[in-house]
Amino acid sequence: MEEQKKSLKHRLLEFYDKKYKLLLIIPFIMLFLAIVQIGHQAYTTGEFIKKDVSLKGGVTVTIPFENAIDSRQIEKEISSQFPRNDISVRILRGTGAVVGMIVEADINGNDNAQVQGLLDAIGSSLKLDMSRADYGIEIIGSSLGESFFRESLIALAVAFLFMGIVIFIYFRTLVPSAAVILAAFSDMAVALAVINLLDIRIGTAGVAAFLMLIGYSVDTDILLTVRVLKRKEGTVMDRVISSLKTGMTMTITAIISVIVALLVTQSEVIRQIMLILLIGLAADIFNTWIQNVGLLRIYVERKAKKGVTI
């Protein structure tokens, strides 16, 4: 059995070593499909992501409620009275029990008639007299929400830009630096596309998760690039395998931590952050250990053919 395992491991490493150019198809197809999905989203809806109330403005109503409810049915009933608006219903839980409900609607919070109509629709769905209910209401203007979104995008772009500058300054070579940046971009694009497909509305917490993903994405890529280009012992493949062992340990540890957080948290904000990180970390396995490895090996081999020492 042990010999079979060794043989299987040997065959996998041999395939990984010899077919690295063919394997490049996988991450590039992932990136292509992600870009297609994001483009389709932008073309059909006018937005490349699905924003929640915190980023586009609207009304958020929080109602303490202890009985078990069907959030989808409630959302359907409220949406039927606001066919032109996006309605989102989420259940609040504490220690496993239902403690309340959050309803988000992208209506004009300054229009008292619309706000009252939303409260009436919630009360009707819950069989609850909202005039006597203890609920909280938060109103975010559309201009304020748009401002949050614009500033969040600027922060994300600036973080990505400075990450790229630091990478270029450190490695001082175009291809390895571009490969690290491409891997980070691919992680973010795949994560965004999957979030869109899951029909999850992104809020300010989601933008923060993408900022965190930049850091998670580049650490393994920098580890790989430093070991392949800066170290001289062994072959290029030996250095790749050494990086793979360390990098996968880092990534798997992070994935396990994120999954645990997803399972135990009762906060929708933390859930959104952890879900984005989980998708991005899963994508990073392909983008680092197939895409970046392949591009680095092509770069090193071309330099070796020209007699250039790296």
Asked if residues 168 and 182 have their Cβ atoms less than 8 Å apart, the reply is no
Closest by Cα among 80, 31, 78, 87 to 59: 87
Token reading at 256:
């396990």
pLDDT score recorded for residue 167: 92
Give the pLDDT confidence of 252-300 residue by residue, as tens digits: 999 999 999 988 887 778 889 999 999 999 999 999 999 999 999 999 8
CATH code for the part of the protein at 2-51+144-305: 1.20.1640.10
Asked if residues 175 and 299 have their Cβ atoms less than 8 Å apart, the reply is yes
Give the pLDDT confidence of 227-240 residue by residue, as tens digits: 998 887 888 888 99
**Domains 2-51+144-305 and 58-140 in one fold:** no
297 phi/psi in degrees, rounded to 5 = -65, -40
Where along the chain do its domains lie?
Answer: 2-51+144-305, 58-140
| Residue 308 pLDDT grade (very low, low, confident, very high; cuts 50, 70, 90) | low
Q: How far is residue 298's CA from residue 86's CA, in Å, rounded to a whole number?
A: 48
The CATH number, out of the four listed (3.30.70.260, 3.40.640.10, 3.40.50.2000, 3.40.50.300), of the domain defined by the range 58-140: 3.30.70.260
80 phi/psi in degrees, rounded to 5 = -65, -25
End-to-end CA distance of the chain: 41
| Residue 226 pLDDT grade (very low, low, confident, very high; cuts 50, 70, 90) | very high
Give the pLDDT confidence of 97-108 residue by residue, as tens digits: 777 888 888 888
**Is the per-residue pLDDT at 5 higher than 70?**
no
Token reading at 39:
């483009």
Q: How far is residue 244's CA from residue 288's CA, in Å, rounded to a whole number?
A: 9
Ordered DSSP codes for 208-274: HHHHHHHHHHHHHHHHHHHHHHH--SS-HHHHHHHHHHHHHHHHHHHHHHHHHHHHH---HHHHHHH
Q: How far is residue 309's CA from residue 300's CA, in Å, rounded to a whole number?
A: 9
- Say how many C-beta atoms besides its own lie within 10 A of residue 220's C-beta: 26
Which pTM does this prediction carry?
Answer: 0.84
Query: How many helices, marked H, and strands, marked E, lie in the chain?
Result: 12, 4
Of residues 44 and 84, the one with the higher pLDDT is: 44
Ordered DSSP codes for 81-97: H-TTS-EEEEEEEETTE
Determine if residue 58 is left, alpha or beta; phi over 0 gives left, psi from -120 to 50 gives alpha, anything else beta.
Answer: left
Closest by Cα among 305, 120, 143, 299 to 224: 299
Give the pLDDT confidence of 141-197 residue by residue, as tens digits: 777 778 888 888 898 899 999 999 999 998 888 999 999 999 999 999 999 999 999
Of residues 31 and 206, the one with the higher pLDDT is: 31
